[in-house]
Structure 1
Amino acid sequence: MNHQDHQDHQAVGASVDRVAKQVIDAGLKVHRALGPGLLESAYEHCLAHELGLRGLPVRRQVPMPVTYDGMELDAGYRLDLVVINFNARLFRDGVRRFAL
């Protein structure tokens, strides 16, 4: 990894951190406003709205195929929300897990 690659990696990391903080804050705001006990779809819809208000591009119910034996199969999987994919070539390259 050269110096430029390291700087690019740091810039992407900082962008991911900023977006992650916005997503977590939005999730907490929605949960505080709605409280527990609603269907997941209600939280999803409200969270997508809140993220949009914050200027974050968000897509709901994005199909995610399963790759098996070199084929992409539509197994009915859906991603509830996708918030920016940072131009990752593959979806899994843009996926990060956060523990709260």
Structure 2
Amino acid sequence: MIIEEEISKIVFEAALKVHKVLGPGLLESAYEECLYYELKKSNLKIEKQKALPLIYEEVKMDVGYRIDILIEDKFIVEIKSVEALNDVHLAQLLTYLKLANCKLGLLVNFNVKLLKNGVRRVINGSL
């Protein structure tokens, strides 16, 4: 069974490859498609635009949340193409991690010169 840390490395390497080929400045959807394509080569279970229901008082509500990429049902990749990551982006991923009961995720902003400056690891501390 693959652990989250190994998935994190696989995602970072795939994102690095996509960023190297495409560079910054495109729409999130372009990066998502290319990253999904790269990750599918890893033989891991990869899902994109996975619906994420909200459970409120035992009631499952479909409020339109979607995980950009979910890997092995336990690792979330949230893709951005913005001028700078901010607290709202981090809060969004943290909320997705909690709702999906996942421990770790990566927030990846492709709109940067060096990809390493656009990647944030987010840990769900409530698990």
Band the TM-score falls in, shorter-chain normalisation = 0.7 to 0.9
Q: Percent sequence identity over matched residues?
A: 38
1:28 aligns with 2:16: yes
Counterpart among 53, 72, 79 of residue 84 in structure 1: 72
- Using the size of structure 1 for normalisation, the TM-score is 0.73
Deviations 1:41-68 (A, max 9, x none): 1100100100111222210110001111
Which consecutive residues of structure 1, in runs of 5 or more, have no partner in the other structure?
A: 1-11
After superposing on structure 2, the runs of 4+ consecutive aligned residues of structure 1 that deviate more than 2 Å are 97-100
Q: Which amino acid aligns with 1:76?
A: G
From the CA coordinates, give the structure whose radius of gyration is larger: 1
Structure having greater relative contact order (Cα 8 Å, sep ≥ 6): 2
Deviation at 1:32, TM superposition (A): 1.2
Counterpart among 79, 96, 104 of residue 96 in structure 1: 104
Aligned length: 84
Instruction: Name the structure with the higher helix share.
Output: 1
Instruction: Name the structure with the higher strand share.
Output: 2
Deviation at 1:19, TM superposition (A): 1.6
- Using the size of structure 2 for normalisation, the TM-score is 0.59
| Alignment match, 1:41 | 29
RMSD of equivalent CA atoms: 2.0
96 and 28 in structure 1: CA distance in 2 versus 1, 3 angstrom threshold: same
